[in-house]
Structure 1
Amino acid sequence: MADGRILIADDEDGLRWVLEKGFRGAGYQVTAVKDGTTALREAEEQPFDLILLDIRMPGIDGLTLLGRIRGKRPDAQVVIMTAHGTVETAIQAMQQGAYDYLAKPFDLDEALLLAERALTARRLSQEVTSLKTGLKEVWEFGALVGRHPTMQEVYKTIGRVAASDVSVLLRGESGTGKEVVARALHHYSRRAGRPFVGVSAAAIPATLLESELFGHEKGAFTDAKERRLGKLELAHGGSVFFDEIGDMPPELQVKLLRALQERAFERVGGHELIRMDVRVLAATHRDLEAMMKTGRFREDLFYRLNVVSLLLPSLRERRGDIPLLVEHFLSKYAETLGERVIAPEAMDRLAGYEWPGNVRELENVIQRAMVMASGGVIVPEHLPIGPVSAAAGVEADASLGEIIEKKMIECVRGLRGHTSANLHSLMVGLVEKPLLRAVMRETKGNQVRAAQLLGINRNTLRKKLKEHGIDPDAG
């Protein structure tokens, strides 16, 4: 039976009745209302896991209601229902935080399937959130902590494909969490209670990899003292994860492809056909398309693995998530290494580092810093990282206003002891001067064009350039 609380808001009596009956029949707890005002009241009074909203309703329209619900119930998944003529509006709703949309007319089965996917994604998101607070769970989704839009897309994709048996190819740099995502896909699949078996094509010598995959019979080669089961056999009924599949030798790629196609294989040195039932997950940091062109990776194997492709972002592409990840790792190791806090200067240094090793490297750095920070506070000296880019120290996804505010807070803090500091004029001057220099540089010293861009007259521009000591001919 399904599990979850669902709110349906639609002014079409027939559709509302069908949805309510269908979701109740599937085991959900359902509340159905016919206008936006009532829907908002219900959402405020009780928590819902999934909310289905029609775009056009009496009272409060769907888009307005979406914004209010996201503010009050940010953990609820919202699905927009729309007529064919308003699909563009539905896409706008998704950009505002909706999980997905249903285009009318739709089948009940389609709505039920989307609800299952949305609730699966929500459970994954909740598990990640609980891990951030240091709670112990079955899986450690450390690399999946984050609010960046690319990570939200990762959560959504996991929710959509976990329940099926399709092969998934995970792509991204080393340390971005590809194995973590593979474990999440297994955990939320129908195979969750069965084995999850990983094999790394990069970590095992080529001469041993075939035996590692398929197993071997006693006497198959010199050191084969007894029969040994391979990873594919051990994963029967569950999932097998091929890490760094791009490092697999071409001759072994042929044998793996045959096994996946026939869903059967023979142990090395054996003749018995071993049947297998596994879900295939693979990962690589290599450019497989380029490798196919040079003959280093088989095209047919690529298409067998690449049914669904999921790209994980590098840590430097989501710098805004670094503070969340840091807090997660501080909580994770607090029990064994002691509680620690991180100084703002140290956090700035972490945010400015390039992180070639991504989340894995960040976790190792935090562990070491916690060991070194015997006084309880992690400072920059405790961080074993290389040069930091000053430009990258500001979050890549921060707005201009946020960047300016951060710098102004530092200035205001520095003037805390002054009773009068003419702060307004000082701040305006600090912002105005780089603005004037940037515009003069852009217009190559053309004062008429610069004044137009700034929205001031030319005499005012000349006066301000003189006040700030800017050479108008240096643009």
Structure 2
Amino acid sequence: MATHNSLIGSSAVTRELLEHLERVAATDAPVLVRGATGVGKELVAREIHRLSGREASGDFIAVNCSAIPNELLESELFGHEKGAFSGAVSSYQGRMRLADGGSLLLDEIGDMPADLQAKLLRVVQEGVVTPVGSGKEISVDVRIISATHKPLESLIETGQFREDLFFRLNVIPITVAPLRERPEEIIELFDHFRVVYALQGEAIKLNARSISLLQAYHWPGNVRELENFCRRLSALYPGETVNLYTLPPDFLPPKMVKLMGADSHGGSEVDMLGESNLHAVLFANASDDGDEDGLARVLGITAAESPASEQLAHESLKDRVSDFERQLIEKALADANSNISEAARLLGVKRTTLIEKMGRLNIARR
């Protein structure tokens, strides 16, 4: 779903999220965005800022509460006066004032020190900040958006997070689903990233079996892991059609390598020509706007080789799956000069599997 400066995703989960963001953006109420690492919480916050109309009056400012040392975080947030502490050779506005009129993202809010939580509570309640070394309160108009991957309720129970601050920040709760809960977006996102990281304008492609592997892998690092993986492949194999099963294990996530090992022994869920995976890749939104074009681009199938959209509109889900299976097989047979063993190799499946599929789809052996 998350990509650089925009949200991408056609799954029902993402469409519902985008609709929710449109509803809440117009208010000034604080928002708490939750989700695992790498799902795109900051991009959700940026989308809220964009939809709110605050772009015209102020900036979107982000601060990672876990990345700044505790002794500097107060100054970074609220600013300081010249001479307020050793090294303060000039005054500094702080992120709160820099975001005046706009939106402030407090990322990893669960890592904020307890003493700063009390000061943040006052900002949220009263709309004023007090720079370090100053007794003067300064009014700010800031939309506070917080984000965390931690269970704040558990931190409250252990005394690590203030309950009153939690209530103030959690006025509008938003949860971003992990990528494993929206697998139909994997190819959509991969298609985007492969273009973003294409070298000399030529994007990588994947063979059919590799696409199925992307679907079967659970992506514990979510969209960030998928993006970095696509960037690696684009740098190492620019413009090539990549077969993940032939790459050195060091180039692949360890759990993906394990999944590939299970596949080689016939015990994996990976089978590009299986209907369940094609359903997940292509047709999870069969009645809506699926990403058939995205998959075709990743596979390197041209528009002339793709089924006509008018025909697809009238076919059942099962027929569409069969059509795409037939398309893949016929293309592989053509590329292999009708050599079944070579076509099976190109598809990344066993020869017996290919023969069985050809029989089921009434594809003649030439």
TM-score (norm 1): 0.55
Matching residue within 98, 111, 118 for 1:234: 98
Structure with higher RCO (Cα < 8 A, 6+ apart): 2
Match in the other structure for 1:338? 202
Match in the other structure for 2:253? 385
- How do 1:63-74 residues align onto structure 2 when only pairs under 5 Å count? none
Name the CA distance, whole Å, in 1 between partners of 2:170 and 2:180: 26
- For the 8 Å contact 2:13–2:177, the answer to whether it is kept is yes
- 1:310 positional shift: 1.0
Match in the other structure for 2:349? none
Tell me: CA distance 1:406–1:256, structure 2 relative to 1, closer, same or farther (3 Å): farther
Match in the other structure for 2:133? 269
Match in the other structure for 2:162? 298
- 1:248 positional shift: 0.6
Match in the other structure for 1:34? none
Matching residue within 308, 313, 332 for 2:172: 308
Name the CA distance, whole Å, in 1 between partners of 2:356 and 2:206: 30
Name the CA distance, whole Å, in 1 between partners of 2:278 and 2:14: 15
Question: SS of 2:63's equivalent?
Answer: strand
- 1:339 positional shift: 2.5
Question: SS of 2:52's equivalent?
Answer: coil
Q: Which range moved further: 335-344 or 227-236?
A: 335-344
Match in the other structure for 1:150? 13
- For the 8 Å contact 1:167–1:308, the answer to whether it is kept is yes
- For the 8 Å contact 2:78–2:130, the answer to whether it is kept is yes
- For the 8 Å contact 1:353–1:385, the answer to whether it is kept is no
- For the 8 Å contact 2:205–2:239, the answer to whether it is kept is no
- 1:321 positional shift: 0.8
- 1:410 positional shift: 10
Name the CA distance, whole Å, in 2 between partners of 1:185 and 1:145: 15
Question: SS of 1:188's equivalent?
Answer: helix
C-alpha RMSD of the superposition:
3.3
Name the CA distance, whole Å, in 1 between partners of 2:279 and 2:72: 45
Match in the other structure for 2:216? 352
The letter of the residue matching 2:253 is I
The superposition leaves residues 156-207 of structure 1 with CA deviations (integer Å, 9 ceiling, x where unpaired) of 1111111221211111001100000100110111212221111111111111
Name the CA distance, whole Å, in 1 between partners of 2:323 and 2:153: 43
Name the CA distance, whole Å, in 2 between partners of 1:403 and 1:292: 51
The letter of the residue matching 2:255 is P
Alignment of 1:197 onto 2:61: yes
Match in the other structure for 2:236? 372
Matching residue within 186, 194, 200 for 1:322: 186
Match in the other structure for 1:166? 29
Question: SS of 1:387's equivalent?
Answer: helix
The superposition leaves residues 219-272 of structure 1 with CA deviations (integer Å, 9 ceiling, x where unpaired) of 111111111111001111110110010111111111100121111021011112
Name the CA distance, whole Å, in 2 between partners of 1:249 and 1:401: 55
- For the 8 Å contact 2:63–2:107, the answer to whether it is kept is yes
Name the CA distance, whole Å, in 2 between partners of 1:350 and 1:204: 35
Tell me: CA distance 1:403–1:358, structure 2 relative to 1, closer, same or farther (3 Å): farther
Alignment of 1:282 onto 2:146: yes
The superposition leaves residues 302-333 of structure 1 with CA deviations (integer Å, 9 ceiling, x where unpaired) of 11111111111111111111000011112222
- How do 1:43-58 residues align onto structure 2 when only pairs under 5 Å count? none
Q: Percent identity?
A: 39
- 1:345 positional shift: 2.6
Question: SS of 1:316's equivalent?
Answer: helix
Match in the other structure for 1:213? 77
- For the 8 Å contact 1:329–1:363, the answer to whether it is kept is yes
Q: Which range moved further: 405-414 or 153-162?
A: 405-414
Q: Which entry has the higher C-alpha Rg, 1 or 2?
A: 1
Name the CA distance, whole Å, in 1 between partners of 2:127 and 2:213: 50
Question: SS of 1:219's equivalent?
Answer: coil
Match in the other structure for 2:45? 182
- 1:391 positional shift: 2.7
Tell me: CA distance 1:272–1:326, structure 2 relative to 1, closer, same or farther (3 Å): same
- For the 8 Å contact 2:80–2:132, the answer to whether it is kept is yes
The superposition leaves residues 424-465 of structure 1 with CA deviations (integer Å, 9 ceiling, x where unpaired) of 99759xxxxxxxxxxxxxxxxxxxxxxxxxxxxxxxxxxxxx
Match in the other structure for 1:23? none
Q: Please, which runs of 5 or more residues in structure 2 have no aligned partner?
A: 260-267, 285-316, 341-353, 362-366
Name the CA distance, whole Å, in 1 between partners of 2:86 and 2:357: 82
Match in the other structure for 1:258? 122
The letter of the residue matching 1:148 is S
Name the CA distance, whole Å, in 1 between partners of 2:226 and 2:151: 24
- For the 8 Å contact 1:319–1:396, the answer to whether it is kept is no
The superposition leaves residues 102-123 of structure 1 with CA deviations (integer Å, 9 ceiling, x where unpaired) of xxxxxxxxxxxxxxxxxxxxxx
Name the CA distance, whole Å, in 2 between partners of 1:291 and 1:232: 25
Name the CA distance, whole Å, in 1 between partners of 2:26 and 2:109: 23
The letter of the residue matching 1:391 is E
The superposition leaves residues 11-50 of structure 1 with CA deviations (integer Å, 9 ceiling, x where unpaired) of xxxxxxxxxxxxxxxxxxxxxxxxxxxxxxxxxxxxxxxx
- For the 8 Å contact 1:343–1:378, the answer to whether it is kept is yes
- For the 8 Å contact 1:319–1:397, the answer to whether it is kept is no
Number of residues of Structure 1 aligned to a counterpart in Structure 2 = 289
Name the CA distance, whole Å, in 2 between partners of 1:218 and 1:289: 38
- For the 8 Å contact 2:203–2:238, the answer to whether it is kept is no
Name the CA distance, whole Å, in 2 between partners of 1:424 and 1:363: 33
Q: Please, which runs of 5 or more residues in structure 1 have no aligned partner?
A: 1-127, 133-138, 429-475
Tell me: CA distance 1:260–1:411, structure 2 relative to 1, closer, same or farther (3 Å): closer
Name the CA distance, whole Å, in 2 between partners of 1:372 and 1:425: 35
Match in the other structure for 2:5? 140
